[in-house]
Chains A and B, each alone.
Chain A
Amino acid sequence: MAKVRGAVVVDKEGCKGCGLCVVACPQNVLALNKDVNSRGYHYSYMANPEECIGCAHCGLVCPDTCITIYRVKL
């Protein structure tokens, strides 16, 4: 079992659906939603939330700083 759990909150309206967070995530947590936000972008979301370790890789590469990251030690 993992020693840490993480979770991210994506600012749905700020996200431009660039997909850079999706490839930056080492745990394959993120994916682009098939739904779009009000500006027509397929925003990022946690498709596999259990796998998140709160490493912040997604947040670091996001050009629009849309990702807020939380982590707990188990």
Chain B
Amino acid sequence: MEIQDIIKPENLVYSKSKLQVDVISHYCPGCSHGVVHKIVSEVIDELGIQEKTIGVSPVGCAVFAYNLIDIDWQEAAHGRAPAVATGIARTNPDKIVFTYQGDGDLASIGAAEILHACNRGENLVVIFINNGIYGMTGGQMAPTTLVGQVTSTTPMGRTVELNGYPLKITELIAQLPGVHYCTRQSVHTAATVRRCKNAIRKAFQNVMDKKGTSFVEVTSTCNSGWKMTPVQANDWMVEHMFTEYPQGELKDNDKKG
């Protein structure tokens, strides 16, 4: 059989979601952000909520998310996405509102905003990209940086004496009564991409059903900031990040008694 006989519309099994704007993204080659954007686009499309969804983009490499996914967006000041999203969701109860935030944005400058929004149980999806550093500004240490991890501000590796411990903010958030669903996923293999998509779909469905906050961490790579190839970065993430940030569900109130 010739390749031309296979490449026909009736044989199509996978293609770009129509919600993904047809531009080349600003992300570095191999960056996890791109995979998560793709999943979010597919989920919004499959749930048929393109016209009802409002994203709140962060400060960080995802600052231009509004150029890449064809829905309504609002850009927030650094770390303030959960506060902005609270306002949008409360004044537009018929809309599906989500924030998309990096670990510098969410766990550092925006730690107060995310904890209080989740504690209030705001009806939001939170997509949290934990790549362990500040990607956009040149790979500085973040609260989530691992002990011993080399960054541009910890050239000898993070130490507990100087920098304290990695902040497991997803574990903190899972404890809050306002949080309905909290999970930690990754997107480095086909199987984990599928699993992460199921988690993100569930989070959006929860908000459509007005169940309160649904929080999805995606343990991610920033190969540029980590000074690795994309393939090395995925391997490094599995070897080092997954011990500190164990994968899987932390909370699902649907499964309660």
Contacts and interface: CB of A to CB of B under 8 A. Distances in A.
A46 B119 CA distance: 50
B230 A18 contact: yes
Residue with the highest number of chain A CB atoms closer than 10 Å, among B6, B29, B188, B231: B6
Contacts of A62: 34-35, 38
Interface in A36-50: 39, 41, 49
A7 B190 CA distance: 17
6 contacts: A7-B6, A16-B30, A56-B14, A61-B35, A61-B189, A62-B35
Contact of B230 (A19, A57, A59, A69): A19
Contacts of A49: 3
A60 B35 CA distance: 8
Interface stretch (B19-27, B91-99, B175-183): B19-27
Contacts of B38: 62-63, 65
A71 B8 CA distance: 9
A60 B13 contact: no
Residue with the highest number of chain B CB atoms closer than 10 Å, among A23, A41, A56, A61: A61
Interface residues of B, number: 36
B6 A72 contact: yes
Interface in B1-48: 1, 3, 5-8, 11-17, 20, 24-25, 27-35, 38
Interface residues of A, number: 34
Interface string A1-45: 000011101000110111110011000000000000001010000
Contact of B231 (A19, A70, A74): A19
Interface of B: 1, 3, 5-8, 11-17, 20, 24-25, 27-35, 38, 187-190, 193-194, 229-231, 234
A64 to B, nearest CB: 5
Nearest to A54: B13
Contacts of B24: 13-14, 39, 64
A70 B6 contact: yes
B35 A17 contact: no
